[in-house]
Structure 1
């Protein structure tokens, strides 16, 4: 009987076993498979808003529980369809007029004479990197006027401005300011127009006018109008959410639904010692229902998924079907065109392959059809099936639990992308099907059969990770790591190269969409170094191949290998010679430090030697160039970049020593130590060290110094790190330590690296608590941003990036093999 009770209540037992996470996440991870199959809640309550892709596009998942014929919506919203009355360029190009020099006053008024302005097709932006941009704009400023002809008035309607901008934008509708973004960057943001603004929209000619300031890098300005379509609501009543708890591999929700408690868990079994499991494109939504009044209740659960999961834009046509196999029910949706690997870019979602909603067949009714039909069937307890094939139809599963005091179960969601990555001209299958001998049905069958064991393993991992992180850096630190875990992993795709190399390729989310970016790999790597160094190698392999194959011929490392998901050659507009070469050398040494041998470095010794010699010549006092913080622009004499170059040379020495190349090891360690001595003299500003060697009244985080400590390389004088740490403590703002003296923004991953330089846990926690506070209070409800302001609760840019894997660097302390060479 005890075993039966544990099986029935396995969900609740699992939930209680983990140390709870008190943070209010800016967004809650739900479905985390890869950069395309990604679902998040951007709200405090799971039922407040639709589930969304990390880009903010709606990926609706609807969940409703019926308890004794009373309906409670616990997940998602009944979406009101929005109709375009002035499309953005995502849907189609639009006619606009523009200038790049400041126009006269009242340029945003309808009466302004724009006859001398240039005519072009919107949107306007950096066409090389922004797929939605129809007219190239790469100068500093732009002013745009767009005349829109409406066929009726919209008084009393809910109308929205949809807009994208990079960076500062001001947008007007018929001369009324709608939005003034300040220093920010957003894609497909929406804002509801006020009654005054809606009243100004008249039948006939109307004007949308916008201004944008491109501070650095990419530029973009796009805007349009949407109106709500009237529709019936079937599930107006919600459950009462009582808790949410984000763990490393699972998110737990609890709800009160009349006389029962509903516990809901989203699980991504991303246990990194098992690469086939990491690659398996299946997540679980588990439910556990328990009576709270001592009575039995008749319970049904309804899960509904939108075809948006299988397309880039909701306007694309989809086809759906259902079938049964080996005791499981499969509902499948995909785009009608199936243009495999036909697009690359940042703010894009997959539109090839197939999304699946899967359940056990027993006690399950399922349907494909229009939202109203399926919802009405559930409300009226109709068990009839819908048509077998549908166009732009939703998918639904109803689980009938019967009259119960407690019950548990699951549904599964997943995606078969057919091909995942194009790698130097070759289309690669996902890692789980690398030998082309697996099927998606087989993956779901394995996921179903291993469910109970995986729930146990995930719960054990979550608990252990929280304990270890708390011991290393405190509770706030552990909670940030738990929130970062799935975000970091799911920003990558795991495939196997034609030569057998493991490729773990990142997508540079909401930055520029690059694939395999080295200066994204660098901050992301600590998570993978900690849990599976083979994945850290997978981050580097494409860059090594790019050089060793002769496809990249420069004497320093490339920035990237393409734009996701096409990894065919570097697409970034410039190089970062010192940055990327330093990153590759340091991470190769870090892999050796985790494994206790230099076998991986030895395989790539020739190209590592080329790169280290480049740094010997160019690394001490870098010329005008970008570093990983490229949003700050080019600048010369970067002291922190010089640290990276010096420690990269020391890393080469470390690798040589592990191979028994003692003469080589001594030579390069002496070079590194000589550079460190000169650095101390060049960067010294008394009580701290400079941002650039030529500017005494400057400072910056020297986060690159952390590797000297972690790998015990003994390159820099011991007094440097404590001096910097003490200085930084006096520079913190409410939400953290600025990146440097130039701006109030920061990079949260670098703060954790900087804090790891501290010799004691208490000092480390002083740097971590403000980051935790920001994530808990930010008004920007998005998957964690790593680029945020320290004096306001707003993010500066980026979201859902893999670099939060860098939070785990503190947990590497004491786990790396120190260098023993002492030659001077």
Structure 2
């Protein structure tokens, strides 16, 4: 399933002693009933930051299908490769030899869902086309690749979020056969004969016309175990169109700088790199687990426990509602007739989901988020410019482009980068610089006329054409405050003063705007633009105030001490006034907008104060909010604000990082509870209802698979604050040679295998797109017995 719900076919069959078991896809259900065809049974599903693993039983053999999209953000060369892996391993459960074959095919829906789009395809042995029919070589050193493309390509165009240019490629090799053709005919003939004909279908057509599929089959003979490896993904040469002083220029993907610009060399490298990518992914995974453990060791509060959840003891309640005592000795009530979730029966405040440790819940959230964050980005080679001396374009450093997945496809949206900030700061702060540099290039070279920060780099990915007329979405306080906070965050986590010096005049321009308009912001949009325009937004104002405090530190770093004093004094004065405007007359919580008594909302914009140690927000304000959130919590968390019953998971995790352990646990465990019980059936949503079944907001926007999931790393970013985890660079920039990826600077990675977390349900299991939600296709494979 493509991230927005369009289906794409991937069929998987394992043959055991002549009995056919379908373990992936549903293609065999369209065939006439056959006595030797069965459906394999799924035994378990697990995931971690790297893998989605499916354990399946097929008679006397168990099979594990492991989908791997390596998350290695400090290795930008490998990160830039737009291909993912599927490893299919099997073993005999009775210890006996069995005759085993594996079959896999993909359909043309991976490259285009449309009927009227004619496609071309071919099979390649290495970089040579296999024309006509005949037996393929059995050379174990050769990768075989199906390569699909649209006959009439439109560079830098998308249709239903599918790219209209590039090659989709899936692949393989030794002891195999191949075939392309009509899905029904090809699959029926395979299950009857247990072999493919090594023939290519030359009737080029659309994905829905006599559905074309592209198949490989492996024959393992009599064995007790074996495995096959496939890779799959989109490869494009011109990947981004970028407005520069030289006009609109096409940008090459960063992998061309690392591995050369030949498609088949890239496929070969990636296929042969499986073990190395596994090991690098395992290091990230091991560090992620270690850091989650370290956070909960450093900031445990009274509620953290390493104990394994067990059956909870119950107590008598005459109302008949479900109730009990959690693992920490707190009594709770869950009344299914209301929407308030788990409640403390003494005061009916919300409590955390009672049967799961917070550390386990948090690990599950960040592990599930990792691939989703990385999938939204493309790394490119910077342009070589004749007419610009831009400090934001540096030879040897990549540019990073983000797609605003699902909401509108904007590029490098400032308020989509901002919620993902914790992931950057935790995983690789240099990526923050690389994603901000294209924005600075436009605004420092006369491509944006307004005095506040631009909203995005272009209306629709992959076209970074900017807004030379200044008609981007109007969020001036939001985006200006965001840019100031991101700039100081980058410095705080890297110690890189040059980034502040290079863009200081632009920071001063934005700060001047924030001084004028942040304390009492006019009716305008905030980052939560789906909720509509609102005047005097409490949360928006505090972002501007914190942005000014960050600006005071920026000025101090660059040596402009008088400006630093002025910015600091203004921020402090504004905060004193803000407190009078923003706190409800009851004194129990902040309000959504100055004029709206009784309203409320998540005060997530106070998180940067704690993260960056800005020193504006007193602990008493955090304590007040900490006591308030349990009073308004519901079964799937705390709603975003009092206007609606939905919430946003990124802002919930930002808010959690500002809370004391009891309220923090409420946020973390309710999000994990939503993951396991939501009625949603697509990739991780960041906008969902806190009531009912935790479903999609009625009539609301569809926020699927977005990179704002980086906000879930809020607690881990807190752990790394001030460590200045700056990445060293090899001489000559980020490339050491044409085949060697970026050197990892962190020596504290643990070299252990990636372990997995079991899902209680499979509703939110994620198999992430390799990059940017782009799917043209190639598939490659080689059998290893």
Aligned counterpart in structure 1 of residue 51 of structure 2, from 250, 257, 269:
250
1:276-335 Cα offsets, whole Å, 9 max, x none, are 101112211112211101101111111101112122524411111012125111111111
1:697-723 Cα offsets, whole Å, 9 max, x none, are 221111010111111110122211111
Alignment partner, residue 391 of structure 1: 204
Which structure 2 residues correspond to residues 569-648 of structure 1 after superposition, within 5 A?
Answer: 569-570=466-467, 574-648=473-547
Unaligned runs of 5+ in 2: 127-140, 206-211, 296-357, 384-392, 725-785
CA distance in 1, matches of 2:118, 2:6: 17
1:247-268 Cα offsets, whole Å, 9 max, x none, are 1111111011111110111111
Which structure 2 residues correspond to residues 507-526 of structure 1 after superposition, within 5 A?
Answer: 507-526=403-422
**Runs ≥4 in structure 1, deviation > 4 angstroms?**
230-236
Alignment partner, residue 801 of structure 1: 706
Alignment partner, residue 733 of structure 2: none
CA distance in 2, matches of 1:59, 1:233: 24
CA distance in 1, matches of 2:28, 2:565: 66
Alignment partner, residue 496 of structure 1: 381
1:590-628 Cα offsets, whole Å, 9 max, x none, are 111110233212221111110011101111110010000
CA distance in 2, matches of 1:670, 1:750: 28
Q: Per the alignment, do residues 330 and 465 of structure 1 end up closer, same or farther by CA in structure 2, a change over 3 Å counting?
A: same
Alignment partner, residue 370 of structure 1: 182
Cα distance, 1:540 vs structure 2: 1.5
Alignment partner, residue 8 of structure 2: 59
The worse-fitting range, judged by mean Cα deviation, of 230-239 and 281-290 is 230-239
Superposition RMSD on alpha carbons, in Å? 2.1
| Structure 2 residue 655 is matched with structure 1 residue 655 | no
1:153-183 Cα offsets, whole Å, 9 max, x none, are xxxxxxxxxxxxxxxxxxxxxxxxxxxxxxx
| Structure 2 residue 667 is matched with structure 1 residue 767 | yes
SS in structure 1 opposite 2:594?
A: coil
| Structure 2 residue 722 is matched with structure 1 residue 817 | yes
1:718-771 Cα offsets, whole Å, 9 max, x none, are 2111111111111101011011111111111100000100133x4311111111
TM-score by length of 1: 0.72
SS in structure 1 opposite 2:373?
A: helix
Alignment partner, residue 65 of structure 2: 264
Which structure 2 residues correspond to residues 304-383 of structure 1 after superposition, within 5 A?
Answer: 304-311=105-112, 313-325=114-126, 327-343=142-158, 347-359=160-172, 361-379=173-191, 380-383=193-196
1:170-223 Cα offsets, whole Å, 9 max, x none, are xxxxxxxxxxxxxxxxxxxxxxxxxxxxxxxxxxxxxxxxxxxxxxxxxxxxxx
Which structure 2 residues correspond to residues 20-419 of structure 1 after superposition, within 5 A?
Answer: 52-78=1-27, 232=32, 237-311=38-112, 313-325=114-126, 327-343=142-158, 347-359=160-172, 361-379=173-191, 380-387=193-200, 389-392=202-205, 393-419=212-238
CA distance in 2, matches of 1:749, 1:809: 9
Aligned counterpart in structure 2 of residue 481 of structure 1, from 327, 349, 366:
366
CA distance in 1, matches of 2:46, 2:58: 19
CA distance in 2, matches of 1:535, 1:798: 23
CA distance in 1, matches of 2:283, 2:19: 36
Please state which structure has a larger fraction of its residues in strand: 1
| 8 Å CA contact retained: 2:260, 2:266 | no
Alignment partner, residue 39 of structure 1: none
Q: Per the alignment, do residues 800 and 531 of structure 1 end up closer, same or farther by CA in structure 2, a change over 3 Å counting?
A: same
The worse-fitting range, judged by mean Cα deviation, of 366-375 and 499-508 is 499-508
Cα distance, 1:428 vs structure 2: 1.6
CA distance in 1, matches of 2:44, 2:265: 35
CA distance in 2, matches of 1:528, 1:253: 30
Alignment partner, residue 775 of structure 2: none
| 8 Å CA contact retained: 1:758, 1:764 | yes
CA distance in 1, matches of 2:405, 2:201: 37
CA distance in 1, matches of 2:289, 2:441: 37
CA distance in 2, matches of 1:759, 1:439: 53
Aligned counterpart in structure 1 of residue 600 of structure 2, from 687, 694, 699:
699
| 8 Å CA contact retained: 1:311, 1:352 | no
TM-score by length of 2: 0.75
Higher relative contact order (CA 8 A, sep 6+): 2
Aligned counterpart in structure 2 of residue 737 of structure 1, from 635, 638, 652:
638
Cα distance, 1:236 vs structure 2: 5.7
| 8 Å CA contact retained: 2:42, 2:57 | yes
Q: Per the alignment, do residues 736 and 525 of structure 1 end up closer, same or farther by CA in structure 2, a change over 3 Å counting?
A: same
| Structure 2 residue 462 is matched with structure 1 residue 565 | yes
